[in-house]
Amino acid sequence: MTTMPKIDRRSALLGLGASAGALAVGTRFTHAQSTAPIRIGFQKHATGIGAAYGRWYDATTQAAVARINEMGGINGRPVEIITEDDGTDPKRGAEVLEKFASQHECDVAFGTLYSHVVIGSAPRAGELKLPYFVVSEGHHVASGMLNRYTLQPGITDVKSQVQSMAPFVGANLGKKVAMIYPDFAFGHDHRDYFSAAIEAEGGEVVAKIAIPPTETSFTRYFPQIPRETEVVYHVMVGPAVLTFVKEMGEFFGPSRPEIFGFIDSLEAVAIDSPGLEFLEGTYFWEGNPRYAQENQTEWDAAYRDAVGVDETGASVDDARDVSTYAHMFGCWETLNVIKAGMEASGYQGPADRPALIEAVEAMSEMPEGMDHPQGPKLFNGRTHQVFGQQFISQVRDGKLVVAHTASIEDGMYEDEVDYTMQPF
C-alpha cells in the first residue's frame, strides 16, 4: 500500500515530462515551419558542354538570392539554394530532380538551360509533383510537350525570338538564308520556326546545316552553304563555339555574305578575340545586350553591379572572363517570379506546390524594374511561357551596339497548349 503513491507519482511525472517534451517538440516544429529556409534546387550545368553557362547561371542565381534575402526572404523565410551538377546530361538531370525532391526536400527546382536536359528532366518533375522553373529558351514548354509542373517565366522561347528576328533579317540583310544550327532540340526549334518565319517575309531557307553539339572541327560543314546565299544564319553551342566562328571567317575570307547570328555562338567568348575581326558589321540576336548601351536603364546598371559584370559584359574581377549576359538574366527574373508566386499563394511547404503553380499561372504583366531588369514581360499562364523584348546588335568597332529592339508583340504567337486544364 505504501508504495502505491510512489508509483503514481512516478508515472505522473513521466506523463508530465512526456507531454512537456511533446509540447516542446511541437512548438519547435511549428516555429521551424515559419522560419526554416525555402529550399530551391538549382540544376546546374557545372560540367559537360554547358559549363560556361552553368558558371554564370550560378553567379546570377547567388546574386539574386542574396538580394531576396536582404529584402527579408520569401514570406519571412530565408531562401537557400541547393546546387547539384547535372553534367549537362538529360539522364543525370532527371536524377538530380529526384535528389532535390526526396533527399534535399527542396520546395521547387530551377535553373536548367540546355533543352535536352529540360526535356529529359521535366517528366520526372511531373511525377515528383515538383514545380520546375526552367531558364532554357526552347519551345518545348509552350509547345505543350511537357507538363503542368514545368514553367518558363524568366526567358523567352526560340519560337518567339526567331519570329521577331525574321522581319529584320528579311528586310535588311537578304531573302536567301543558309542556316547553321546545333543538331538537337534547341537547334531544331531554330530550324523549324525560323524557316516558317522567313517564308512569311517572302524569303527562303536555301540550306539547313545541322552540326552535332560536341563537334570540334567545322570547316568541313561550310561548303554546304550555297553560293547564292545572301545571309548566313548561325547559332551554335558547346565548348567549341569560338572555333566555329573563327573557321567560318576563314572559310569566307574577304567575300562573306551578310551574317546574322544568335549570340549563343559567342556566349562567354570575347567578341574581340583574335580571328573574329570579320564579324565587324555583322548582326547578333541578344536576349540582353552584353555591352552597356547609351540608353542603359538604372536597373540594368544595378543588376550588372549585383552580378559582378562590367559595362563590356565581362567579370569585374577578370576582363577576359566574359559572361553569358544574353541569357543569365533569366535566372534573376525567374527567382523573382518564384518569390512573387510564393507570396501570392501564401506558400508554406510542399503541400502548397499546386497553389504556387496556380499563382504563377495567374500572372500576366511583369513591369520593368529591379525584379525584371531586362525589360517588361508578359506571362502566358496557359502555355507557361513568358514573352519579352528582343535585341538585334551590330558589331561596331569590336563592340555590340543595339541596332533594333523587337517589341513583346513581335514575338507573340497563338497558344499551342493550355496547361491549366491538366490536373495536378
Partner 1 sequence: MQFGPHLLLAILEGLVTASILSLTAMGLSLVFGVMRVVNVAHGEAYMLGAVLAWWVTGLIAGHPAAGFVIAAIAAPLIMGALAVASDRLVLKRLNYDPDRTIVATIGLLYIAQQTTLMSFGPDARPVEPPFNQRIALPWLERTEEGWAWFYPWGLSITSYKLFVIAAAALILVAIWLIITRTRAGLLMRATQQDSETAQAFGIPVGTVYSVVFGIGAALAALGAVLVVPIQQAHYLMGGEPLLLSFIVVIIGGLGSLPGTVIAALLIGLSDGIISVFFSPTLAKIIATLLVAMVLVFRPRGLLGKAPA
* Minimum separation from the CB atom of position 219 to partner 1 (A): 5
CB nearer to partner 1: give 149 or 218.
Answer: 218
Q: How far is Cα 157 from Cα 192, in angstroms, rounded to an integer?
A: 13
37 phi, psi to nearest 5 deg: -65, 150
For position 217 contacting partner 1 by CB under 8 A, the verdict is: yes
Nearer to partner 1, 185 or 242 (CB): 242
Residue position matching grid coordinates 506523463? 15
Task: Output the DSSP codes for 206-262.
Answer: EEEEEE-TT----GGGGGGS-TT-SEEEE---STTHHHHHHHHHHHHTT---EEEEE
- Residue 81: helix, strand or coil by DSSP? strand
Residues 378-407: x where in contact with partner 1 by CB under 8 A, - otherwise, as a string: ------------------------------
| DSSP 8-state assignment for residue 379 | E
Cβ–Cβ < 8 Å for 279, 399: no
Sole window of 31-39, 66-74, 218-226, 406-414 interacting with partner 1 (rule: CB under 8 A)? 218-226
Candidates 11, 219, 296, 364; binder of partner 1 (CB under 8 A) is 219
**Would you count residue 191 as binding partner 1 (CB under 8 A)?**
no
- Least distance in angstroms from the C-beta of 59 to partner 1: 13
Q: Which residues does residue 83 pair with via DSSP β-bridges, in sequence order?
A: 42
User: CA angle, 191 as apex, 186 and 197 as ends, to 5°?
Assistant: 120
The answer to whether the beta carbons of residues 375 and 368 sit under 8 Å apart is yes
Nearer to partner 1, 31 or 220 (CB): 220
Residue list 34-73, contact with partner 1 (CB under 8 A)? 46-48, 51-52, 54-55
Smallest distance, partner 1 to C-beta of residue 84, A: 15
Helix (H, G, I), strand (E, B) or coil at 333: helix
Minimum distance from residue 398 beta carbon to partner 1 (Å): 16
409, 380 Cβ separation under 8 angstroms? no
The angle formed by the CA atoms of residues 173, 178 and 179, to the nearest 5 degrees, is 105
Q: Which of 15, 212, 281, 349 binds partner 1 (CB under 8 A)?
A: 212
Distance CA 202, CA 206 (A): 13
Which of 241/342 has CB closer to partner 1?
A: 241
Encoded one letter per residue, x for contact with partner 1 by CB under 8 A and - for no contact, window 266-295 reads: --x----xxx--------------------
The β-bridge partners of 315 are 309
* Pairing mode, strands 231-234 and 258-262: parallel
Quick one: DSSP state of residue 45? Answer: -
**Smallest gap, in angstroms, from Cβ of residue 200 to partner 1?**
29
Applying CB under 8 A, does 215 fall inside the site for partner 1? yes
Helices 325-345 + 353-361 axis angle, to 10: 120
Selected range binding partner 1 among 121-129, 219-227, 362-370, 373-381, rule: CB under 8 A: 219-227
Site string for partner 1, 223-262 (x = CB under 8 A): x-x-x-----------xxxxx------xxxx-x-------
CB of 229 to partner 1, least distance (A): 10
Residue number, 51 or 357, with CB nearest to partner 1: 51
Answer yes or no: are the C-beta atoms of 119 and 140 closer than 8 Å.
yes
# chain residues binding partner 1, by CB under 8 A: 31
Angle at 18 (CA atoms; ends 15, 22), nearest 5 degrees: 140
Q: Considering the complex, what minimum distance in angstroms separates the CB of residue 254 from partner 1? A: 8
Q: How far is the CB of 250 from partner 1 (least distance, A)?
A: 5
Interface residue list for partner 1 (CB under 8 A) = 46-48, 51-52, 54-55, 212, 215-217, 219-220, 222-223, 225, 227, 239-243, 250-253, 255, 268, 273-275
